[in-house]
């Protein structure tokens, strides 16, 4: 009786631990593509709308007037932490996922989601070409950056990592904690970019939506068309998360 009760539960956990295609991949892919098109159109619009930019600059200026030593330190630390070591963060996170799950497919899924969402943001920047907020118009500029503003690369990176982590976490008992930390980190970085005066609010908001849409497209292609071509030992290897 003991063997009969344990084996079905173990088999069920193994099936849950495997990566499977979405039930409605076309619908998810279509919605995600439409979201990306809307974000691009909106970015081009705001980049060429002086009135819109002026109204958003007012938010940056208000925050600049209310800087504090503590929040200055937090925002600058976040900027320093994520700027030069993004690749290191990706590598370390992928290593942890591999160690915890012993599942190569989940590691590759994480890397692919982050690469598409984060790397694609640079293409969006080049298409939209929205200038950064003018630091000379801020009361206490803390940082000056010269690349394009829409979307925020820092926010795209953190959002991409957060979304990928939530997905690969599956039904792990710590999934709720992963979701909480992922949301907190994404919001913190997004707010810090506006606080520093290097992005407009719509830049960071669009970054989060973009990362979600780009990651969804990457997942549809990966799970529906790419992963099934891998060997069964890689594709169906149970995860230690379960």
pLDDT tens-digit series, residues 68-81 = 999 999 999 888 87
pLDDT of residue 238 exceeding 60: no
- In whole angstroms, give the CA distance from residue 39 to residue 143: 26
**Which tokens go with 66?**
């209310």
> Which position has the token pair 């109204």?
55
211 within 8 A of 70, measured Cβ to Cβ: no
Q: Count Cβ atoms within 10 A of the Cβ of residue 217 and give its class: 0-12 exposed, 13-18 middle, 19 or more buried.
A: buried
**b/e sequence 5-30, b meaning 16+ C-beta within 10 Å:** eeeeeeeeeeeebbbeeeeebeebbe
pTM: 0.81
Beta strands (DSSP E) in the chain are none
pLDDT of residue 188 exceeding 50: yes
For the ranges 16-25, 79-88, 153-162, 233-242, the lowest mean pLDDT is seen at 233-242
Q: Count Cβ atoms within 10 A of the Cβ of residue 73 and give its class: 0-12 exposed, 13-18 middle, 19 or more buried.
A: exposed
| Residue 102 zone, left/alpha/beta (φ > 0; ψ -120 to 50; rest) | left
């Amino acid at each position: 009786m003991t063997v009969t009760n344990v084996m079905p539960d173990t088999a069920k956990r193994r099936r849950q631990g495997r990566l499977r295609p979405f039930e409605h991949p076309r619908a998810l892919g279509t919605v995600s593509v439409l979201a990306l098109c809307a974000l691009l159109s909106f970015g081009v619009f705001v980049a060429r709308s002086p009135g819109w930019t002026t109204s958003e600059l007012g938010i940056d200026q208000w925050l600049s007037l209310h800087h504090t030593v503590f929040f200055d330190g937090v925002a600058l630390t976040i900027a320093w932490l994520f700027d030069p070591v993004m690749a290191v963060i990706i590598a370390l996170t992928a290593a942890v996922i591999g160690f915890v799950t012993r599942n190569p497919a989940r590691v590759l899924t994480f890397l692919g989601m982050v690469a598409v969402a984060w790397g694609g943001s640079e293409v969006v920047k080049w298409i939209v070409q929205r200038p950064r907020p003018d630091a000379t118009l801020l009361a206490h500029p803390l940082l000056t950056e010269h690349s394009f503003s829409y979307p925020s690369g820092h926010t795209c990176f953190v959002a991409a990592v957060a979304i990928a982590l939530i997905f690969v976490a599956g039904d792990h008992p710590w999934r709720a904690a992963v979701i909480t930390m992922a949301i907190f980190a994404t919001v913190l970085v997004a707010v810090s970019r506006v606080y520093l005066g290097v992005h407009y609010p719509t830049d960071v908001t669009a970054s989060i939506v973009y990362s979600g849409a780009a990651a969804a497209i990457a997942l549809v292609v990966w799970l529906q068309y790419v992963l099934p071509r891998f060997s069964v030992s890689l594709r169906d290897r149970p995860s230690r998360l379960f």
